[in-house]
Amino acid sequence: MDLSWMAWTTPTALFFCAIGSVLALMAALYFLRPDGAEPRPGLFFQLATTRGDRLFISLLGSAFIHLAWLGATGYDLKWAVVVSLAYAAIVFRWG
Q: How many other C-beta atoms lie within 10 A of the C-beta of residue 89?
A: 12
pLDDT value at 90 more than 70? yes
pLDDT value at 89 more than 80? yes
What are the two backbone dihedrals, phi and then psi, of residue 63, each rounded to the nearest 5 degrees? -65, -45
Q: What was the pLDDT predicted at 1?
A: 63
Q: What is the pLDDT of residues 29-80, one digit of tens each?
A: 888 988 777 888 887 667 888 888 899 999 999 999 999 999 999 788 889 9
Position with higher pLDDT, 24 vs 1: 24
Q: What was the pLDDT predicted at 3?
A: 66
Position with higher pLDDT, 93 vs 37: 93
